[in-house]
Amino acid sequence: MPDVGGFLVDRLHTWGVHQVYGYPGDGINGIMGALERRKDKVRFVQTRHEELAALMACAHAKFSGTLGVCVATSGPGAIHLLNGLYDAAMDHQPVLAIVGQAGSASIGSDYQQEVDLKQLFNDVAREYCHVCINPSQIRHLVDRAVRIALAERTVTCIIIPHDVQTLDYEDPPRAHGSVFSGAGWSAPRVLPQDEDLDRAARILNEGERVAILAGAGAFGAAEELQQVAELLGGGVAKALLGRAVLADDLPYVTGSIGLLGTEPTDWMMSHCDTLLMVGTSFPYSEWLPKEGEARCVQIDIKARMLSIRYPADVPLCGDSRETLRALIPRLERKRDRGFREVIERKVRDWWALMDERAHQSAKPINPQLVFWDLSPRLPDRCVVTADSGSSANWWARDLKLRPGMMASLSGNLATMGPGVPYALAAKFVDSTRPVIACVGDGAMQMNGMNVLIDVAKYWKEWKDPRFVCLVLNNHDLNMVTWEQRVMEGDPKFNASQVIPELDYAQYARSLGLEGITMMKPEEIVPGWERALAAKKPVVVDAHVDPEVPPLPPHIRFDQAKHLMFSILSGDPNRGRVIGQAVKQMFTPGKKT
């Protein structure tokens, strides 16, 4: 019989786990030894930091649709995992964290590296977090932690004191109190009741102006969403996590929603009489129709996510694709296509406006132009990640994603630092896909630079070497600078917002990777062509203007007032801020 660590790894393998992300420490030596002896079955991927291991496990789940696993030592290692685990929990990703603990005999003695991990992980892993105190327990701990993570789409945690890891595993005896668990799970087909589908269809058929909002839960239901949008004559907006659910070249796809959203989405939400939400928990209700002004049908696989952002007349608990399939035969094709026609016109106008805004001059480069020029060059099947920061704005608005592409960011936690670890995890999931990470210089200094060390370590094993890390080099924590100006009416606080200068291209070269610097608008297109044809990973260091405002689709009066207040009350960059804001706000856009 193997020891507990060995049984753990074997059981994970039985569950279909082939790689785990992590970092060692003496609190998990028993598990590391077992992984070493089984390295042909389950690969240990060493990351630079435990937070990166957890973020990569989250991205692994996002891009593969399977379980992500991360491993860390007791105390400090376990604590480092937390941010990535919250990212997974809040974006509903199945991730298992396995952490060590002080030896069982010393627990409760304020021992070195002894942290109450059960208490610490009980929140993030609230569906399942347990300590292994008996070798026979490990079997059901693994079976339950994996099944619950997959079935509930959540984070689970197993804590193993380090002496227990090397005790001999024994199957539980046939005796009172023994537990006999088994491995294996496949997703069920979850469908609402027929009468609820009928009620939903009635509302959708009665509506005259239908808006659809799709989120990450609609992934895999593109065909059905298109059919529904066709039948109902509506438009489809996408929450950030649902960025790749439908291609942006469809004429009725209005793009993203919210502060990082588009004008056609905003118009559609404020003029619809019926809202169909599919697999989304987009949090900002102020960007949805006003309560009472639209009737709502919502589809979500998790009942707890129903009717919390907008009161749903018919909340449908079900799988997006299956539920849409069941709805389609109940829907009538709307004869009046007027709403659709306005949406399509607004979508065309919006893209023309994006084109114009991207081509406004800036100092030295308008960040939108970097994304605008990347958009038509995006390789087929690429994965595009973004970070929290202004990169998310331009990623949300200026890239036209095509069918077969994937995209993600930290949606609900909105943590800084996932852009590059997500991108590396995408390569571990499928190295034939080209990958592009779009991150700010703050996020690059926080996490991205560390991950690049791993990129340099692993890239030679990839089937396709294309991996581009775009750094928006603006010497600023720009998103927050704008939030402080617009939401609070405060001027830029240099001590908190300005970040140190660094040559990212040079840094990439020091790791044996390629570095490309974009200093002038004319360098953008040749830079992208070189980056996307490179035979090794590339860092694109784009020197972009921090004073180009990431404007919401329509800037509200109170925000504009705050902005003006901040400008007048001594923002160190007031002259240029006014210039860029005015240019962006009053770009007329081409009307079609």
Ligand X SMILES: Cc1ncc(C[n+]2csc(CCOP(=O)(O)OP(=O)(O)O)c2C)c(N)n1
Name the one range near ligand X by CB under 6 A: 164-172, 278-286, 387-395, 427-435: 387-395
Name the one range near ligand X by CB under 6 A: 256-264, 282-290, 372-380, 436-444: 436-444
Interaction partner, residue 479 (ligand X, Mg ion, none; CB < 5-8 Å by kind)? ligand X
Nearer to Mg ion, 59 or 438 (CB): 438
Full 3-state SS string of 472-537: EECCECHHHHHHHHHHHCCCCCHHHHECCCCCHHHHHHHCCCEEEEECCHHHHHHHHHHHHHCCCC
Least distance in angstroms from the C-beta of 376 to ligand X: 23
DSSP states of 129-193: EEE--STTHHHHHHHHHHHHHHHHTSEEEEEEETTGGGSBP-PPPSSTT----------------
- Helix (H) or strand (E) holding 386, with range, is strand 383-386
Interaction pattern, residues 443-482, with ligand X; x per rule: CB under 6 A:
x----------------------------x-x-xxxxx--
Least distance in angstroms from the C-beta of 79 to ligand X: 15
Q: Can you tell me which of 135, 207, 233, 440 binds Mg ion, judged by CB under 5 A?
A: 440
Least distance in angstroms from the C-beta of 580 to Mg ion: 16
Least distance in angstroms from the C-beta of 75 to ligand X: 21
Least distance in angstroms from the C-beta of 354 to ligand X: 18
CA nearest to 30, candidates 135, 130, 122, 140: 135
Q: Is 332 exposed, middle or buried, given 0-12, 13-18 or 19+ CB atoms closer than 10 A?
A: exposed
Nearer to Mg ion, 327 or 392 (CB): 392
Spell out the residues 6+ positions from residue 576 whose beta carbon is closer than 8 angstroms to its own: 363, 547
- 502 is an interface residue for ligand X by CB under 6 A: no
Nearer to ligand X, 73 or 415 (CB): 415
Residue 389 zone, left/alpha/beta (φ > 0; ψ -120 to 50; rest): left
- 74 is an interface residue for ligand X by CB under 6 A: no
Spell out the residues 6+ positions from residue 419 whose beta carbon is closer than 8 angstroms to its own: 385, 386, 387, 391, 409, 437, 438, 439, 443, 447, 448, 469
DSSP label of 448: I
Name the one range near ligand X by CB under 6 A: 15-23, 36-44, 381-389, 568-576: 381-389
Q: Is 555 exposed, middle or buried, given 0-12, 13-18 or 19+ CB atoms closer than 10 A?
A: middle
Give the span between the Cα atoms of 58 and 50, in whole angstroms.
12
Least distance in angstroms from the C-beta of 16 to ligand X: 32
How many CB atoms are closer than 10 A to CB 564? Answer: 14
Interaction partner, residue 416 (ligand X, Mg ion, none; CB < 5-8 Å by kind)? ligand X
- 266 is an interface residue for Mg ion by CB under 5 A: no
Instruction: Confirm if 152 and 190 have CB atoms less than 8 A apart.
Output: no
Nearer to ligand X, 162 or 543 (CB): 543
- Both structure tokens of 332: 């009538």
Interaction partner, residue 327 (ligand X, Mg ion, none; CB < 5-8 Å by kind)? none
Q: Can you tell me which of 47, 391, 450, 580 binds ligand X, judged by CB under 6 A?
A: 391
Q: Can you tell me which of 262, 445, 478, 517 binds Mg ion, judged by CB under 5 A?
A: 478
Q: What are phi and psi of 252, to 5 degrees?
A: -105, 5
Give the span between the Cα atoms of 59 and 399, in whole angstroms.
20
DSSP label of 253: E
Interaction partner, residue 192 (ligand X, Mg ion, none; CB < 5-8 Å by kind)? none
Q: Can you tell me which of 87, 319, 322, 441 binds Mg ion, judged by CB under 5 A?
A: 441
Give the span between the Cα atoms of 98 and 142, in whole angstroms.
10
Judged by CB under 6 A, how many residues of this single chain contact ligand X?
Answer: 19
- 366 is an interface residue for ligand X by CB under 6 A: no
Least distance in angstroms from the C-beta of 564 to ligand X: 22
Nearer to Mg ion, 459 or 482 (CB): 482
Instruction: Confirm if 459 and 429 have CB atoms less than 8 A apart.
Output: no
Least distance in angstroms from the C-beta of 546 to Mg ion: 7
Interaction partner, residue 414 (Mg ion, ligand X, none; CB < 5-8 Å by kind)? ligand X
- 262 is an interface residue for ligand X by CB under 6 A: no
Q: Which of residues 395-434 bind ligand X (CB under 6 A)?
A: 414-416
- 417 is an interface residue for Mg ion by CB under 5 A: no
- 256 is an interface residue for ligand X by CB under 6 A: no
SS3 417: coil
Nearer to ligand X, 56 or 268 (CB): 56
Interface residues toward ligand X, by CB under 6 A:
387-391, 414-416, 440-443, 472, 474, 476-480
